[in-house]
Amino acid sequence: MSAAFAHVPPRSLHGFRTAYPRVSSLGTDPDSGLASVEALYVAYAVLGRPTTGLLDHYRWGEEFLRVNGFAVPGNAAGACSP
């Protein structure tokens, strides 16, 4: 599959915080990084694609939205997308 996308420049998502609780007894947890569903949400938001339903079954979805300044559903005072 990577050969089919070799012409696409790599991208990264900086400036976002994960809500996923990372715990490691080896101290190998990265200082940054997102859960897959979080990265998908941010990519959709950055591209202006609809994000409705992406975090519906993600346990830490509301916390992820809150710590990153996205509007939290049901929160009238929710922030706009970053």
Query: Which residue carries 């830490």 as its tokens?
Result: 60
What is the C-alpha separation between 43 and 51, in angstroms, rounded?
9
Domain range for 59:
1-82
Question: What percentage of the chain carries pLDDT values higher than 70?
Answer: 83
Residue 76 has pLDDT above 80, yes or no: no
Number of domains in the chain: 1
What is the C-alpha separation between 60 and 5, in angstroms, rounded?
31
What is the C-alpha separation between 48 and 10, in angstroms, rounded?
19
**Model pTM?**
0.75
Identity of the residue numbered 56: D
Residue range 23-35: mean pLDDT, rounded: 73
